[in-house]
Amino acid sequence: MDTVSILDKYPIGGFRLVKSAVLPLTKELAREHQALDASPTERDLQPRRIKHLRQKAELGHLVTFHWAKAKIADQWVRMNGQHSATMLAQLNGEFPEGLFVTLDEYEVDSTDGLALLFRQFDDRVSSRSTADVAGAYQGLYEPLRAIDKSVAKLGIDAIAWHLPAIEGIPVPSGDEKYRLFVRAAYHPFLLWLGELFTIKTPELRHYAIAAAMYGTFITGNNEDVRRFWDQVARGGLEYEDNAPSTVLDNWLKEAKERGTKRNLKPKLKPIEYYQGCIYGWNAFREEKTLKDIKYDTRKGLYTPHD
């Protein structure tokens, strides 16, 4: 088989850094950068990104910007910094003081080189993910550092969902919700979740299910909470097909398969996951056996038994 790439006959364009300077951030500099011709590689201007940056400016959360421009065929084009320069140029109030811009200037030998240079900014592999942000806040608290980061994030996602959906308490949106790590009252739940998820339980890794765990955890019955969810995580009770933990785990496994070729039923809504889990927990607390899990929410939500 011919292993020569179909693109081999098209040489990759290159770019060279010719100058880099750290400059004081001024409105004039922002307007100058905004006024540059856009590179044909530039992303579309997104109002939500402008709004996000403006909010950061209002909160005093801006850091040094990284702007870039490139010269191709004797023409300068803007390569990076469109949204921040636009936001800054549009500010009507006070302009942020004491900030700087790193301004890089490149020479590019072809349009392909422009695309290659474009790919170096905000590289998808290097960008901060929500998991990275959650991990940053988790790492601030020594007792939580031993918890698997994905589990700690799941726990905060669960609490952040439970607070408004079940308790009617608003929480910040986006990455701001991971500041919930600051509340020491949540740490015992997160530590327990870290212990529970040492068992391989893919059917439990949904924030609404973890929110139901949190709802049972805050009843104060820690011994029963640990016993019940440990049973669910292990597939229920052996030889007890009608035990609540067995029925719930089977239901969760079936729910995880919904929306696939093997199970064409529509996927459950988060609130339905929560409802079904609380139904199973309440049956466990009442020492009942079950045939199936009820998760309809039209008559209201079940309250976790203490």
The reported pLDDT for the residue numbered 3 is: 53
Helix 149-165 / helix 270-285 crossing angle, nearest 10 deg: 90
- Closest to 180 (Cα-Cα) out of 232, 141, 235, 237: 141
pLDDT tens over the chain, length 306 residues: 455 554 566 667 789 999 999 999 999 999 999 999 999 889 899 999 999 999 999 999 999 999 999 999 999 999 999 999 999 999 988 899 999 999 999 999 888 889 889 989 887 777 888 999 999 999 999 999 999 999 999 999 999 999 999 999 999 888 889 999 999 999 999 999 999 999 888 999 999 999 999 999 999 999 999 999 999 999 999 999 999 999 999 999 999 998 888 888 889 999 999 999 999 999 999 999 999 999 999 999 999 999
SS3 content of the chain, % helix, strand, coil (to 5): 50, 10, 40
Domain ranges of the chain: 15-118, 130-285
**Stated pTM of the model:** 0.80
As a residue count, the chain comes to 306
Fold observed for domain 15-118: 3.90.1530
In terms of Cα–Cα distance, which of 274, 302, 270 is closest to 286?
Answer: 302
Helix H, strand E, coil C: the string for 286-298 is: CCCCCCCCCCCCC
160 close to 180: Cβ distance less than 8 angstroms? yes
